[in-house]
Structure 1
Amino acid sequence: MRWTSALAIYILFWAFSVFLVLPFGVRTTHEAGGDYVPGQAESAPHEFRLGRVVLWVTVVATTLFVLFQLNYYYGWITPQTMDIAGRIEAERAR
């Protein structure tokens, strides 16, 4: 695999990991015991720490990317293992 392809895949893993990480560890103003700002939604986070989110997203994305790369080289999961309907074997028999 070219390094540019690996970089593009890593960026996709990073962008996907943002949505995995964002919901965890969020506390609302009510849960934190703070005062609401006028116009603030009740579900808004009390304190958003961008650095912490970026760190966790990078950790998750790197872990998933390493697993992806290992699977790419060692072939643990292939299209044949995911073929529950037997279509790949049927195509080969033709």
Structure 2
Amino acid sequence: MGLPSMLAVYFLFWVFSVFLVLPFGVKTAAEVGEQVQPGHAESAPHEFRLGRTLLRSTIVATVLFALFVLNYLYGWVTPEMLDWTQW
């Protein structure tokens, strides 16, 4: 696998990871003890921490990408193993 392919796959894992970690650690205004501002949804986050979200998604993406590369190198799971029409 070439470097451009690896970067593309890592980017896909990273984007997936952003959506995966986005809801964790979010508190609403009611949970913090403040009043909900008019026009805001009650489920809206009180404070969005972009840096924390980016760091968490980078860590998750790196772990998933490492597993992907190791599987690519050692062939733990191959397409033939996932072909359920042979059963």
TM range (shorter): over 0.9
Q: Does 1:57 align with 2:25?
A: no
Rounded Cα–Cα distance in structure 2 between residues aligned with 1:31 and 1:68: 38
The unaligned stretches of length 5 or more in structure 2 are none
Rounded Cα–Cα distance in structure 2 between residues aligned with 1:42 and 1:27: 11
Quote how far apart the aligned CAs of 1:84 are: 2.1
Runs of at least 4 residues off by over 3 Å = none
Identity %: 62
What is the count of residue pairs matched by the alignment?
87
Q: What is aligned with 2:9? A: 9
Quote how far apart the aligned CAs of 1:59 are: 0.2
Larger radius of gyration: 1
The unaligned stretches of length 5 or more in structure 1 are 88-94
Deviations 1:22-45 (A, max 9, x none): 111111111111122221110100
Give the root-mean-square deviation of aligned CA atoms: 1.1
Rounded Cα–Cα distance in structure 2 between residues aligned with 1:77 and 1:45: 39
Q: TM-score, normalised by structure 1?
A: 0.88
Q: TM-score, normalised by structure 2?
A: 0.94
